[in-house]
Structure 1
Amino acid sequence: MSASSPSALPASAPSSSAPLCLLFDSDGTLVDSEILLAEVMGDVLPEYGLPFTARQYMEAFRGVRFHDIVATQQRRHGPLTEDSLARLEAAMRTRMQARMTEELVAIDGMPDALDALAAYPKAVVSNGPDSKIRCAMASAGLAHHFGDHLFSAYTLEVWKPDPGLYLKAAEAMGFPPERCVVIDDAAVGVEAGLAAGMQVIHLNHFPDEEATPEGAIALHHASELPEVIARLASARQAL
């Protein structure tokens, strides 16, 4: 499913008769890109007069829309011109794509988990641009699990924590919210999934520092996913 045509299902789309549809975040959930993004932003933003560090990103901005991060830093340190903002974003995207192409790997345990979950319809739902999602899936060797079922906030013009991004993806996949499972590592994504009325699995990489919100299921490793999804599917089929 191309993110550019969210309301039209392709002929090869999974049947909505399946018990559950799995909606995966990308950065930090499927692919280990968060530290790469943190380092790139920690390099690029200061070049344009916006003090920022990789640690700052990891502690306060994981999963947050890039434009919102830049807007926050401008409020703190002063506004940039439109030309500077455009050059900043272009530099960040170019450097990030290069880092992903050369260094990106899947989250530990995720390839095996996706193999075990092959029977479930699934999609990637990300706050990132479509080109970044495609680069991430290809670089980490996960593209075959999702095909064109990729949904970008930049294309659909709604960003997590707004539940609309997950709701639009569910509609395009042919599933009601209650039959969708969101798998997301970031607070903004967990919040979006819960607000959308979906079942939410929080892949919590920092359990000593980050609490899982009430209503979400906390996992600490991707290897736990198949068992939890099987349990949720059984519960759904029993209704």
Structure 2
Amino acid sequence: MQSPLCLLFDNDGTLVDSEILLANVMAELLPQFGLPFSAQQYMEEFRGIRFYTIVQLLEERHGVWMEERFAALEAQMRALMEKRMRAQLNPIPGMPGALQALAAHPKAVVSNGPEHKIRCALESTGLSDHFGDNLFSAYTLNVWKPNPALYLQAASAMGFAPEACVVIDDAAVGVEAGLAAGMQVIHLNHFPDEETTPEGAIEIRHASELVDTVARLSLSALS
């Protein structure tokens, strides 16, 4: 009997509703370091992108260089973000039920964030038991989406070929990485009026659609 598809979930914005928390934290801290920034700017331009890359882009844009102060900025950002997550973080609506319904599928979290942040998010929202230690951080593997190597390394560690994996991601960089890795990709599109799902990916607009979508992909894999 063919084993079930392996589900590779992004974390921020896919499993947990952390994007707006991060946007607000960055909007508070970055201007203190001379980098103009707003929460809206994060949501419209930088969702899912590595923090270091965001700072680099802002440095070039504003002519403010952070090399000697970056470590202090990142430490403050991580500490404040953890505090906000533990107090305010919620799962994406519909995601707990979807994960329960997909219990038969092997699952992993594949994130551009640090492993400590992934664990904090899952613990804060009660989702840890769905994934165990199947957590793959770009900071640990030293490769960031949209590089497909992050998803490919996660698939290999889980014991699955790329074609037997389904990426579930809300951000453009993650969708791009999954497609480039040769995997099936489900785009959880929270902003369908502003964002277009790339060709080759499957768009859903609510986590409640996830179970039926995975079921269809499973049937297709068997045919």
Same fold (TM over 0.5): yes
* 8 Å contact kept, 2:35–2:64: no
What is the Cα deviation at residue 78 of structure 1? 2.2
Match of 2:138 among 142, 146, 153: 153
The higher-RCO structure (CA 8 Å, 6+ apart) is 1
TM-score using structure 1 length: 0.92
Paired residues in the alignment total: 223
1:31 corresponds to which letter in structure 2? V
* 8 Å contact kept, 1:161–1:189: yes
Q: Where do 5+ consecutive residues of structure 1 fail to align?
A: 1-15
Match of 1:180 among 159, 162, 165: 165
Q: Where do 5+ consecutive residues of structure 2 fail to align?
A: none
**Paired residue for 1:115?**
100
* 8 Å contact kept, 1:18–1:121: no
Instruction: Report the Cα distance in structure 1 between the residues aligned to 2:59 and 2:88, rounded to whole angstroms.
Output: 30
The reply on whether 1:54 has 2:64 as its aligned counterpart is no
**Paired residue for 1:234?**
219
- Within 5 Å, give how 1:61-210 maps onto structure 2: 61-210=46-195
Q: Secondary structure at the match of 1:82?
A: coil
What is the Cα deviation at residue 82 of structure 1? 3.2
Match of 2:199 among 214, 221, 224: 214
Name the % identity.
68
Match of 1:41 among 8, 12, 26: 26
The reply on whether 1:24 has 2:9 as its aligned counterpart is yes
What is the Cα deviation at residue 81 of structure 1? 4.4
| CA-atom RMSD in angstroms | 1.1
Q: Secondary structure at the match of 1:135?
A: helix
* 8 Å contact kept, 2:59–2:66: no
Instruction: Report the Cα distance in structure 2 between the residues aligned to 1:42 and 1:147, rounded to whole angstroms.
Output: 33
Q: Secondary structure at the match of 2:120?
A: helix
